[in-house]
Chains A and B, each alone.
Chain A
Amino acid sequence: MIRALNIKKSFGNNLVLKGISSTFESGKCNLIIGRSGAGKTVLLKILVGLLLPDEGEIWFDEINALNLNKSDTRKLRSKMGMLFQGSALFDSMSVEENIRFPLDMFTTMTYKEKRARVDECLERVDLANKNKLYPSELSGGMQKRVGIARAIVLKPQYLFCDEPNSGLDPKTSIVIDQLIYSITRENNITTVINTHDMNSVMEIGDTINFIDGGNLAWHGIKEDVLDSDSEELQKFIFASPFLQKLKARAEK
């Protein structure tokens, strides 16, 4: 479980997060949603430790992440996996080398054991036998799947995904969503997903955190999203003209 308590962050005079508190539960896909510029990426970067908040606390189970020394921070980070918006695969390394990198860095496994673990992860993301390909030879969806394989290779307790569906077609988005969802369930991972894709919200969102103007404007479960009394959330959900027409027709 991850708890964020009263997180504030500003850049110059621009107060981006105005005191956000939320809990991200274990074994669930916890979504952070909101418009572009709402502050969701800043919140995610603060959770993973790439940015420091001006105020507030971040708790990973019983560990206060902001009170750790560098060595303990690295230990905590070795329990995290992250899927980046652009996948962030190392261009000069093959798929296998990319996934093996955390194993090379942090484990004393033999080469054979590492190979077996890499194959296991690749199989899990349906990319068996793609070991020797390079990132430039993969489609966007395949790159995301390699990114997921690299994120889970060390069996993390916490998985963070920044816009996992950006740049993907709807069908591939569903595949990626389902993959993240099933991996979260299988391994009881605390998964935090930053997205503005409403399909993801309705498909895999166990808990939803709607950020608006730097505040947590709504928090709940996906079943309550459509009936929420938050006007801003309703505007966000039905932002597309197509959905507005559908809603109007349904109301008739």
Chain B
Amino acid sequence: MMRLVISRPNRFSMFWKELVRQMYDIGIGSLVIVALICIFIGAVTAIQFNYQLDGTLVPKYYIGYIVRDITLIEMAPTITCLVLAGKVGSNMASELGGMRQKEHIDAMDIMGVNTYNFLIGPKVLGGVLVIPMLVTVGGFISIIGGYLASVPTGMLSNEQYIQGLNSFFVPFNVTLMLIKAVVFSYILTSISCYQGYYVKGGSIELGKASTRAVVISDIAILVADYILALLLATK
């Protein structure tokens, strides 16, 4: 299937138009939910590490450092993509499944349109381009969430949080975040498109395909997360 998805489009202008639509839908359409989730992840991480470090000899500014690294390495790419599997993935599966049921895909096939390329290609490519951007934005927002939960409440001073953010910074963690985001976005878009494109039957099957898209994507993301951690984050 993927060989046909990456084959030459029937017409680049149509592919481009569809790609822009998908990028807008995935990116702008998911910005609020990603921001909301990430701000709470950052806030909760800060509060819980403050709780765990209480009474220990570990300096308080470590909270900023922990929020930053846990966000970059794990929370921003993994949680964002798990959530996007639910939002974007189920949407893609439903859209394609609906088109299959209403014979839209058959109509395009008969016209001679490469439907793999035209319908699946922009979704996968759009996801792989936009989701890493969303994850990056999510990472920033998560760190801001940590700040809002710790500094205004008096848990930490502004200087302590900033010191934590500036401590022990490993630039590779940003690369690791982006690698994870690209891999996870490919997984969630391709699995969801596959489930939608090949749906058979009526509305119950469409619902099941949509659910399968989310469940399989989530499991695949977690397995990929483990493999990437073994490959890239072990010394």
Contact = CB atoms under 8 A, between A and B. Distances in A.
Real binding pair: yes
Interface of A: 48-50, 70, 73-78, 80-82, 84-86, 88, 90-91, 101-102, 104-106, 154, 160
A90 B107 CA distance: 9
A148 to B, nearest CB: 13
A105 B110 contact: no
A204 B160 CA distance: 85
A102 B10 CA distance: 11
Contact of A84 (B4, B11, B103, B112): B103
Given A74-B114, A105-B11, 12 more contacts: A49-B109, A50-B109, A74-B10, A80-B110, A80-B112, A84-B107, A85-B103, A86-B103, A88-B102, A101-B111, A104-B14, A160-B110
Contact of B110 (A48, A85, A90): A48
A134 B114 CA distance: 25
Given A105-B10, A106-B10, A77 B106 contact: no
Contacts of A82: 107, 110
B106 A50 contact: yes
B216 interface: no
A70 B102 CA distance: 24
B: contact size bracket: 10 to 19
Given A105-B14, A106-B11, A74 B112 contact: yes
Contacts of A80: 110-112
15 contacts: A49-B109, A49-B110, A50-B110, A74-B112, A78-B112, A81-B110, A82-B107, A84-B107, A88-B106, A90-B104, A104-B11, A104-B13, A106-B11, A106-B111, A106-B112
B37 interface: no
Contact of B112 (A75, A85, A88, A160): A75
B1 to A, nearest CB: 13
Contact of B111 (A50, A85, A86, A105): A105
A80 B113 CA distance: 12
Interface hub of A49, A70, A74, A75 (most chain B Cβ within 10 A): A74
A235 to B, nearest CB: 31
A76 B102 CA distance: 23
Give the secondary structure class of B's interface: helix
A78 B103 contact: no
Nearest to B114: A74
Contacts of A160: 110
Contacts of A49: 109-110
A105 B103 contact: no
B106 A84 contact: yes
A77 B103 contact: no
A104 B112 CA distance: 13
A13 to B, nearest CB: 19
Contacts of B11: 104-106
A101 B110 CA distance: 13
In the A-B complex, the 10 residue pairs with the smallest Cβ-Cβ separation, listed nearest first, are: A77-B112, A74-B112, A88-B103, A78-B112, A88-B107, A82-B110, A84-B103, A102-B111, A105-B10, A48-B110
A44 to B, nearest CB: 11
Interface string B158-177: 00000000000000000000
A102 B108 CA distance: 9
Nearest to A84: B103
Contacts of B104: 88, 90
Interface centre among A81, A85, A90 (most CB of B within 10 A): A90
